Every structure is written in structure tokens, then in C-alpha cells.
């Protein structure tokens, strides 16, 4: 965790602006306490992605990841990366929670 004077780094993964309302809320109510990086994946994707490396960075530079991805393969691989790198991930609204992701009700 960053020191009290450092801004926390949040990386938001979204598809088709699915996290924009949450990003606005964090900026509005979080003030200057957070550094937000947004990764938007807006490509038309096949139903199954065998390899997500073209869409997800190899290393995540974040204190927290917010997962608003709608493609299950992308979301699954993102959570796995977060677990491997010991970064908490919130995958809000998931009907089928994945072990390792915090899935609060929406």
C-alpha cells in the first residue's frame, strides 16, 4: 500500500465505456487521492478468446484494479493476473464470482 501522502493507483478495465460512471464518481468524491488509469477494450471480440495477451498488459502497475470487462475470458485472465501480482481486484456485478475477485452486489 502506498504511504499516506501518496496517491493510490487504480487501473480500470472496461469495455464500451462500462466503467465511466464509476470513474466519474471516484474523481468526484475521491478528489486528488487517486491516480486513475483506464484501459478500454472496444474491439469486436469473438465469443471465445484463447489468448488475451493482445488486450491485457503483462504487468499491472496498480494498487487496485476495477474490472468492468464484459468478456468472460478477458475478465478471468485479468483476475488471474491480479492474483499472481497480489493486487486486489473488484469485479462488480459478476453473476458468477471468480475466486480471488471481490464481487460486491450492484
- On the CB side of 72, CA atoms within 13 Å amount to 7
d(CA 73, CA 51): 9
Question: What value, to the nearest 5°, has the Cα angle with vertex 47 and ends 41 and 48?
Answer: 90
pLDDT on residue 65: 97
- pTM, two decimal places: 0.86
pLDDT on residue 106: 57
Nearest alpha-carbon partner for 75 in 9, 10, 15, 8: 15
Tell me the domain boundaries of the chain: 53-106
d(CA 67, CA 97): 12
Measured in residues, the chain has a length of 106
pLDDT tens, residue order, the chain (106 aa):
555 568 999 999 999 999 999 999 999 999 899 999 999 999 999 999 999 999 999 999 999 999 999 999 999 999 999 999 999 999 876 655 566 777 766 5
Give me the torsion for CA of 70, 98, 52, 89, rounded to 10°.
Answer: 80
Amino acid at each position: 500500500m502506498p504511504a499516506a501522502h501518496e496517491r493510490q493507483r487504480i487501473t480500470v478495465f472496461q469495455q464500451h465505456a462500462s466503467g465511466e460512471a464509476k470513474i466519474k464518481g471516484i474523481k468526484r468524491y475521491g478528489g486528488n487521492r487517486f491516480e486513475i488509469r483506464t484501459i478500454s477494450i472496444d474491439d469486436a471480440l469473438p465469443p471465445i478468446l484463447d489468448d488475451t495477451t493482445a488486450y491485457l498488459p503483462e504487468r499491472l502497475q496498480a494498487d487496485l484494479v476495477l474490472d468492468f470487462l464484459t468478456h468472460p475470458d478477458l475478465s478471468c485472465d485479468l483476475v488471474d493476473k491480479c492474483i499472481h501480482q497480489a493486487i486486489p481486484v473488484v469485479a462488480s456485478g459478476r453473476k458468477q464470482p471468480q475466486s480471488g475477485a471481490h464481487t460486491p452486489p450492484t
